[in-house]
Chains A and B, each alone.
Chain A
Amino acid sequence: MAGLGKEYKSGEVIFRQGDTGSCMFVIQDGEVEAIAESDGREFRLRRMGPNDFFGEMALFEKETRTATIRTTKPTRILSIDKKNFLGGIHEDPSLAFRIVQTMSHRIRDLTDRLARYEQQK
């Protein structure tokens, strides 16, 4: 009974690529994988564990989810409301610092991957 968030079994999908959403998620315990789906094939983008977050783009834009998130083991996940998050940012802009920092890391990672892909072509 202790512990925060909602419990998911291994293999459960939190949301699918193309879904609409209005919250982001923080992993409390367990692990998820981010999967891009294209032409019926799946490509794993990254694995994420405790304290990692995903779905943050939904807080800033109204586009659909860009990847599918699926648990790889029993996982507990806390959702962060858009209203709560944006209300917090309004009072304290530094609340977004960690998200900006992580998004920056992800852009760097994607840039590296793209460079490697271009070299292999």
Chain B
Amino acid sequence: MQPPELHAPRVTPLDLFVAFTLITLISFGGVLFWMRRLIVERREWLTDQEFVEIVALANLLPGVNGINMAVMIGYRFSRWTGVAASLAGFLAAPCLMVTAIGVLHHRYGALPLVQDALIGMSAVAVGLLLSTAAKLAAVLQRSALPWLFVALAFLGVGVMRFPLLVVLAVLAPLAIAAAWKGKL
């Protein structure tokens, strides 16, 4: 038996279904901000450290990041039923809404007012994304090495626009080796 972990809240499949439905319905412009807000800040199911590790794995694995995160969080709390509940919550409501929007769009076409609203919301959504990165950065140790990796990943993908696969292929082995030696 594993010793009980320090931070191990009880989360039922129904909790997962409700949480991921809420996250997916509200997640305009990106899932990450709202997932962290609900799961780390509100429900306190995960710490920032646990959350950022799940984000890291979800990024590294193939497929859609949000779906990967739903799978990992669901599995962590209630195994297969948790995965089914998280995925159902994450995908069912958007499927219904997107087809509803599709039907409306088919009938009425694009509304200019909606387009204008979206431009303003997009500006806010980018701010939400950047603030998530800033909050997660609080888990990093106050030393130079972790911040060097933050900077290199940012410069490689954000400024130099190298392909993600290339940046990860170079940085990930170095960072994992550093962590293995206890330096991260």
A binds B: no
Which B residues lie at the A interface, using CB under 8 A? Answer: none
